[in-house]
Amino acid sequence: MTDAALIAARATVLADLDARGCADAEGVSLLEHALSERRWWVEQWPAGATYVAGLVATDVQDALFDRGQRWPLCSTCASLEEHALRVDPELGGPDPVWVCETSGQAIARLGALTSS
């Protein structure tokens, strides 16, 4: 169960990284690091496997932000100020979605972002 959840989380987050042009060496490296960090968490709490994709996406988002890069950027609302999407629900869940920080509008399911 742990490996399957982590493989699914990897594919989901990688699809969103790729859709927004961040599936480069740095982005994939940050994704792999987040997965290795979450492995222990999933092993300790197998029932939480459905939450891991949202948590990994948030981990990658935070790591990119720490490097000065916002990901994924919102490309759908009228705000002129650059802003990112966030995972909702915040602590993950079985069906996480990307939500605009500014409007609160759901933009896409995790893993289903389109290029901007």
Q: What is the pLDDT of residues 81-102, one digit of tens each?
A: 889 999 999 776 788 999 998 9
In the sheet where 85-88 sits, what is the strand order? 85-88, 97-100, 106-109
Summarised one tens digit per residue, pLDDT across range 60-83 is 999 999 999 999 999 888 767 889
- Mean pLDDT, residues 39-49 taken together: 93
For Cα atoms 63, 34, 68, give the angle at the middle one, nearest 5 degrees. Answer: 10
CA distance 45 to 50: 10
Quote the pTM value. 0.94
Per-residue model confidence (pLDDT) at position 92: 65
Computed over every residue of the chain, the mean pLDDT equals 93
